Amino acid sequence: PSYLPQAGTDYAGMLRVANEAFGQSTAADRFLIVLSDGEAHDPDWRRALEDLKKKEVKVISLGIGTAAGGLVPDGQGGVIKDGRGAAVLSKLEPATLEELAQATGGVYREASNWVDLAELIQETVAQGKTGDFSKTRDVRMAERFQWFLAPGILLLALSFALEIPSLPTRRRLALGTTTAGAPLPLPLEKKTTRLVSKEGPPVLARKP
């Protein structure tokens, strides 16, 4: 509570300080988290917002308080008072916070009770990536069929090479002619010689 302003919210000053804190590079997602009741006394904050938009800084606005209004505790058992000693009454006015978020592509949530800040950041990043992806897809869409054409031609040539039989060499042709022209050897008849013995029957002896 000690960080809350005691005389309204100076949005113009806040945006100028944020603009000086963020550099010119837009390579990474950047966020400005604004915690306020939305009460704005100076309408010049819109001019300061234009400089922040050029740096693509997204504003996450968190509205605190209620529409009926209420006193702001000071964290020490009392309430925050202004310079005149009067208690500060905080009343939620979300219009300014909603405009900040909408103008920069951020989000607005009421944070009177509990807000998951990590979830809000993820939601904001997801919305930005979806838009950028759709734009890039439309611009960079191109046919890539030629990537598969060269391997297809190579495989086709290889299949033809495997199907055509190789031509016989000259040496193989010569050997084949000699073998084909030579007469086949015929089986020789076995000749036998009859031996006559005086003491016994004739014996046939095979001639070697």
The CATH code belonging to domain 11-138 is 3.40.50.410
Averaged pLDDT for residues 4-31: 77
- Among 6-15, 45-54, 107-116, 192-201, the least confident range: 192-201
More confident residue, 4 or 68: 68
* Model pLDDT for residues 51-94, shown as the tens digit of each residue: 889 888 999 888 888 887 777 777 788 888 877 888 877 788 88
Q: State what percent of residues in the chain have pLDDT above 90.
A: 5
H helices present in the chain, as ranges: 11-21, 45-54, 94-104, 117-140, 149-163, 170-181
Rounded to the nearest integer, the mean pLDDT of the chain is: 70
Encoded amino acid at 202, one letter: P
Work out the end-to-end distance of the chain between its first and last CA atoms, rounded to an integer number of angstroms: 132
| Burial (0-12, 13-18, 19+ Cβ within 10 Å), 96 | buried
Does residue 129 surpass a pLDDT of 60?
Answer: no
Residue with tokens 């806040």: 14
d(CA 95, CA 9) in angstroms, rounded, equals: 13
Task: Choose from 105-119, 122-136, 141-155, 166-180 the range with maximum mean pLDDT.
Answer: 105-119
Give yes or no for residue 98 having a pLDDT over 90: yes
| Structural domain spans, the chain | 11-138
Looking at residue 76, what is its pLDDT? 82
Q: Which residues have CB under 8 Å from 108's CB, separation 6+?
A: 60, 61, 62, 63, 94, 97, 98, 100, 101, 102
* In the predicted structure, residue 168 carries a pLDDT above the cut 60: no
Residue 99's pLDDT is 93
